[in-house]
Amino acid sequence: MTSTAGSQRQALISGLKGFFFDEQVPYGTALVRMFLPAVALIPMTRRFFRVREIFSSDGAPQQLAELFGHGTPLPELSPVLASALYGLMLFAMVCGIFGFRTRMSFLIATPLYIYFNMLDAVGTMTKYSVIASHVLLILAVSNCGAVWSIDAILRKWREGDAATAIPPRFPVWPARLLQLLFCFIYFGAAITKIQTPEFFSGEQMRYWMFSNWNYPNPLGETLATWTSVLLISGYITVVWEITFPFLAWRPIGRYFALGIGAIFHFLTIFQLGLLIFPFICTACYLAFLMEKDIVAIRQFLRARKFPTSVIGVPRFAVARLIQARPAAIPLPALWLSLAMIVLVLSAEADYRLDVYGIRRNHGPLPLKKMDATVARTLINSQRPLREKDKFFSFDIGSMMMAGQLANRKTEFSYGDVVIAQCNINPPHEDLWVECVIEDDQNRIIDVAGQFVTRDQLYSSFPYQTGNKLVPGNYWVVLKSSGQEISRRQFTLSGDPESLPAMGQMLSN
């Protein structure tokens, strides 16, 4: 018994050692090194022209700790120093992408990237910047510059004939940490969604799709009206996020988990207007590529005569420029010299940009006068919300799915159920909502009402059609506090004599 338990323990320890310390060529982390910083640089480069305004003591930085009531623990630097360090961060990340003094570059870029993100919690600190910060930290302690980098090219040229054609191998634990990071991210996201009923009803996704908080999302505005698609995709998303940690390392399950994830993130570009976040996540998927995967991909590309050598042209071109330096200048000194030049040029760029117009002939830029009407609106008490603005949508159909109207219809037959449903904008007070059936001459046929409490976001009114109605056109009218909010027309056809007397209007 003791021997069996000891053997199982040894097998577990051996399995963990193999999982984290099996030596492989770091192809996956090298790909992450090239793609993730390149994506993270897109928004950071755009903010370079506003460093004084966003990240310096002359501007209005909003530290992350401030939002949680912990003061301002981070130093707010002068505009000149902030601009210089910001330029250094961009330079170090570019060097990391090309793999020039890779570890030094990421050890400098990572803390600066985290610092500037935490200094602007309003705009710069986002979900994707948090993920990028963790990934950059892992890259800084990995051997991601051992392949497909300027460092690898220079080392090969330096060693000459002594250089081996076999790439160097290192323990695989940095790639495993990147993989585990995403397993925890997805699993945690699933646990959060499970506790959010509005996610499974599709309401949360619908509001996001209709909004333009990020960037325009025309596909999302169209799909937002497809309730059945929202409901099904919500359940699929949660199942995928829960099973991701259990499939990510399986031979076949890995392709399923990563494939669904890539499609999911790609669709968020068009459905939710996200741009940077999807590419940050898919770039990290490259960490799941192991040595055997890269070998298989290379064989596939060579069989189709794809010119893979073209991809490395920029890297070799920069390596030749570096190799042409005077022999007396070591590589660390060259990197530091270039970094000093970037520091000076960044500070000079801030001076030339003159964001506030300090060096203008007429002095600093004046503050723009706020419109008097807008100012009074901000100072005075808030205007009461119109009753119709409390409601998001009102539709009629015949089928429910997970509490939501799953279809939209305007033509019904005797015996069909007409389901009217309204969605309410949060937050709202307790409401008394009525649903009225009117004929084409505005005569009231039937009325039903119900309370919609402040925690509800939708309400449904099922109506069983019967021989109380004659064939023709009717209106379903939504009312709140006695005011008409919206109306939907429907047509009733068929033979009313084939049904018994109509029942009462039902409400949930």
* CATH number reported for the structural domain that contains residue 474 in this entry: 2.60.40.1930
Dihedrals phi, psi of 435, to nearest 5 degrees: -125, 120
Asked if pLDDT for residue 1 goes beyond 60, the answer is no
The pLDDT of residue 505: 45
Q: What are the pLDDT digits (tens) for 153-206?
A: 999 888 876 666 678 999 999 999 999 999 999 999 999 988 887 788 777 888
Task: Indicate if 293 and 158 belong to the same structural domain.
Answer: yes
Task: Indicate if 59 and 208 belong to the same structural domain.
Answer: yes
Asked, for residue 506, whether it belongs to a domain, the answer is no
Task: Indicate if 340 and 393 belong to the same structural domain.
Answer: no
- CA dist., res. 368 & res. 402, Å (int): 51
Asked, for residue 78, whether it belongs to a domain, the answer is yes
Provide the mean pLDDT of the chain.
87
Q: What are the pLDDT digits (tens) for 377-397?
A: 777 766 778 888 899 889 999
Asked, for residue 235, whether it belongs to a domain, the answer is yes
Asked, for residue 361, whether it belongs to a domain, the answer is no
Task: Indicate if 247 and 111 belong to the same structural domain.
Answer: yes
Q: What is the pTM of this model?
A: 0.84
The answer to whether 349 and 85 have CB atoms below 8 angstroms apart is no
Asked if pLDDT for residue 309 goes beyond 80, the answer is no
The fraction of the chain above a pLDDT of 90, given in percent, is 46
Q: What are the pLDDT digits (tens) for 324-381?
A: 888 888 999 999 999 999 999 999 999 888 888 877 777 777 778 888 888 887 777 6
Task: Indicate if 293 and 151 belong to the same structural domain.
Answer: yes
Tokens for 16? 């963990």
Q: In which domain, by residue range, is 69 found?
A: 20-344
Place 143 in a pLDDT band, splitting at 50, 70 and 90. Answer: very high
- Domain end (from 319, 344, 369): 344
Q: What are the pLDDT digits (tens) for 197-219?
A: 778 877 788 878 877 777 878 78
The pLDDT of residue 38: 96
Asked if pLDDT for residue 503 goes beyond 70, the answer is no
When mean pLDDT is compared over 215-224, 245-254, 428-437, the highest value belongs to 428-437
- CA dist., res. 458 & res. 386, Å (int): 18
Tokens for 204? 């949360």
Task: Indicate if 332 and 447 belong to the same structural domain.
Answer: no
Q: What are the pLDDT digits (tens) for 30-87?
A: 999 999 999 999 999 999 999 999 999 988 899 999 988 888 999 999 999 999 999 9
Asked, for residue 504, whether it belongs to a domain, the answer is no
Q: What are the pLDDT digits (tens) for 471-489?
A: 889 999 999 988 999 999 9
Asked, for residue 52, whether it belongs to a domain, the answer is yes
Helices 276-285 and 253-271 sit at what angle, rounded to 10 degrees? 170
Residues 6+ apart with CB under 8 A from 245: 183, 184, 186, 187
Task: Indicate if 323 and 404 belong to the same structural domain.
Answer: no
Place 403 in a pLDDT band, splitting at 50, 70 and 90. Answer: confident
- Domain end (from 344, 373, 402): 344
Task: Indicate if 264 and 194 belong to the same structural domain.
Answer: yes
Mean predicted confidence (pLDDT) in 293-306: 86
Task: Indicate if 217 and 275 belong to the same structural domain.
Answer: yes
Task: Indicate if 337 and 421 belong to the same structural domain.
Answer: no
Task: Indicate if 396 and 315 belong to the same structural domain.
Answer: no
The residue among 10, 73, 86 whose CA lies nearest residue 346 is 86
Residue 396, beta-bridge partner list: 420
- CA dist., res. 93 & res. 41, Å (int): 8
Residue 209 has, within 13 A of its CA and on its CB side, a CA count of 22
Asked, for residue 104, whether it belongs to a domain, the answer is yes
Place 506 in a pLDDT band, splitting at 50, 70 and 90. Answer: very low
Asked, for residue 357, whether it belongs to a domain, the answer is no
- CA dist., res. 340 & res. 346, Å (int): 10
The pLDDT of residue 333: 93
Please tell me the total count of domains within the chain.
Answer: 2
Task: Indicate if 312 and 452 belong to the same structural domain.
Answer: no
- Domain end (from 316, 344, 372): 344
